[in-house]
Amino acid sequence: MEQPNLTYIDELSGDNLEFKTKLIGILKKELPNEIKGYSEEMATTNFSEAAQSVHKLKHKISILGLEKSYYIAEEYEINLKNNSTNLNADFENILKIMQEFVNRL
């Protein structure tokens, strides 16, 4: 499976270390909350709301350079809108990898 990286954040921030630090700080703050919200919606089988959470999480997936994972998330979002949990395990694995990466920053 592909691994998260800071390439996009590095490109966005250029030589501005303060801006890069702010971006990483936002990521570290928002990602756990968004994952928690998604997990709560899945626990209550609120697939419509879970699909909205997946949509938000796709931005984090993209920021962390996970191109293939982005497409999995996109398909999973569609599945949830159709009351299907197909790709759930793949998506949750992506979340785990992202969270572990962000925790190491």
Q: For 2-30, how does the pLDDT look when each residue is reduced to its tens digit (9 = 90+)?
A: 999 999 999 999 999 999 999 999 999 99
Number of folded domains in the chain? 1
- Residue 2 falls inside a structural domain: no
Query: Can you give the residue range of the structural domain that contains 44?
Result: 7-104
**The pLDDT of residue 38:** 98
Burial class (CB in 10 A: 0-12, 13-18, 19+), 34: middle
- 8 A C-beta contact, residue 35 and residue 95: yes
**Average pLDDT of every residue of the chain:** 96
Tell me: pLDDT of 1 over 80.
no
Q: What pTM was computed for the model? A: 0.93
d(CA 19, CA 12) in angstroms, rounded, equals 9
CA-based nearest residue to 100, from 1, 19, 12: 1
pLDDT above 90 (res 67): yes
Q: Which of 1-5, 6-10, 62-66, 85-89 has the lowest mean pLDDT?
A: 1-5
Cα separations in angstroms, 25 against 33, 38, 60, 66: 13, 20, 13, 19
C-beta separation of 85 from 93 below 8 A? no
Residue 32, both tokens: 């756990």
